[in-house]
Amino acid sequence: MFAQASWDSIGRRPVRFLSSPAPWRALSYLGASWVVGAVVVVTVTSVVAVGVATWETSVGPAFTASLGLVALACMAIAAAPFERWRLRLIGAPLAAPERSGGVRARLREPAGRREFGYALVSLLALWWVDLGIASVALVIPGLLISAPLQPTAPLWMAVVLPLVGVVLLPVALFLIAAWAGVRATMTRAVLSPREAELIEVVRSRARLVDAFETERRRIERDLHDGAQQRLVALSMKLGLASLDLPPGSPAARQVREAHEMARAALSDLRELIRGVHPHVLTERGLPAAVRDIAGRSPIPVDVDVELAGRLPTAVEVTAYFVVCEALTNVAKHSGAQRCAVRGRVADGLLALEVRDGGAGGADPEAGTGLTGLVDRLAVLDGRMLLSSPIGGPTLLRVEIPCPASE
């Protein structure tokens, strides 16, 4: 991952870059290496001084060596938080990892060992490089600009060299910002938690989706067993009442209207329930559910979904919503006359394809629908591939790992 702020600013037009705070932030970021350098130099000097003073005594060398190691360890422990802190100077903050236990525990984790190693490199080498690049980049234009101050400089040099220096100054700032960008990128790459360390987060997201799905089912059942039954009973009562009323009477008309309303409410409710959770999916599995959606689609859909058995529930639900969304998009946007859904499981991977011969130009960035699908798929480690050139045809392919069927 790049330290975006610094890199992006370099990509801007030079004038905008130079008038922005970016060069100064980069300079302050590299300049912070003075602190590291000062600490290192003072510590090394002190240790050497102690060493020289005590070398002749019996415990001297051992004492100096342990003092040196302790000092190095202290600096290494402090260096990583410092590196993390100074990323803010360049506008690329990195959250500190959650500490679990003390230094020993940290060193047992890969992230902790990485952090320690990077701290050592930073103490031994990187601060030199930072200061070296910043100094060289600034000192050369500085010297050129100060040429007229040299008593021995001939007139032409006193005129030309400062001009060259002024031209080189922005170049120096670019160089500084570029190195600061590289340096920050490196720091982030080493100090960010790795993907494997993020698994727990993904798992909790999956649990959240599961909980959401369970809740949807509960709502669906409640609507079926509660509201829908009551409305059917109401509708039946109204129907019976209208039988006993004299036809054409005002009361009969009112009851008939009420009956119509109850009927419309039932029909709305039925659609609502289907949207909350597709019953056919739970009971008959993905192929039947896909046929069911295809049957409702305003344009003809050729369904070819063949699976050996039931898939894990999460996979079925996600695949179902993918097909729903895809067919809705085809009907709404593509202008296609026909489309096809194909689904197969091979090598533990469910591959679903929705293909249409419409106008193409589907853009995942444009709407929330496709983005939502990508998010849902991410929970299951699935991925979405889309080919939709302007003028068509469009092919949406979704792959979801499904290790073992339930």
Q: Which residues bind other proteins (CB under 8 A)?
A: 221, 224-225, 228-233, 235-240, 243, 259, 262-263, 266-267, 270, 273-274, 279-280, 283-284, 288, 291-292, 294-297, 300
Pick 260 or 381: Cβ nearer other proteins: 260
Which residue's CB is nearer to other proteins, number 189 or number 233?
233
Residue 196 Cβ vs other proteins, minimum distance, rounded to whole Å: 41
Least gap, CB of 234 to other proteins (angstroms): 8
Nearer to other proteins, 169 or 288 (CB): 288
Shortest distance, position 212 Cβ to other proteins, whole Å: 21
Minimal distance in Å, beta carbon 316 to other proteins?
A: 15
Q: CB atoms < 10 A from the CB of 152, how many? A: 5
Residue 249 to residue 269: CA distance in whole angstroms: 30
As beta bridge partners, residue 383 has: 399
Strand partners, 356: 339, 394
Nearer to other proteins, 164 or 252 (CB): 252
Indicate the residue among 292 and 353 with the shorter CB distance to other proteins.
292
Quote the CA–CA distance of 368 and 386 in Å, as a whole number: 15
Q: Shortest approach of other proteins to residue 319 CB, angstroms?
A: 18
Give the separation between CA 281 and CA 279, rounded to whole angstroms: 5
Q: How far is the CB of 298 from other proteins (least distance, A)?
A: 8
Nearest-angstrom CA–CA distance, 158 and 162: 7
HSE-up (13 A, CA, CB side) for residue 318: 30
Within 10 angstroms of residue 26's Cβ, the number of other Cβ atoms is: 29
> Minimum distance between the CB of residue 243 and other proteins, rounded to whole angstroms?
7
Is the Cβ of residue 238 or residue 323 nearer to other proteins in the bound state?
A: 238
**Total length of the chain:** 406
Nearest approach, Cβ of residue 269 and other proteins (Å) = 9
CA atoms of 129 and 136, how far apart (whole Å): 10
Tokens of 116: 């320690």
Question: Which residue from 190, 207, 239, 178 is spatially nearest to 7, judged by alpha carbons?
Answer: 178
- Least distance in Å: CB of 284 to other proteins? 5
Nearer to other proteins, 28 or 228 (CB): 228
386: three-class secondary structure by DSSP: strand
Give the separation between CA 50 and CA 342, rounded to whole angstroms: 77
Q: Which is nearer to other proteins, 126 or 323 (CB)?
A: 323
Residue 363, phi then psi, degrees to nearest 5: -130, 115
Token pair of 273, please?
């329930």
Residues 6+ apart with CB under 8 A from 171: 141
By beta-carbon proximity to other proteins, the closer residue of 186 and 269 is 269
- Do the Cβ atoms of 235 and 259 come closer than 8 Å? yes
Q: Which of 283, 267, 268 is nearest to 320 (CA)?
A: 283
d(CA 110, CA 115) in angstroms, rounded, equals: 9
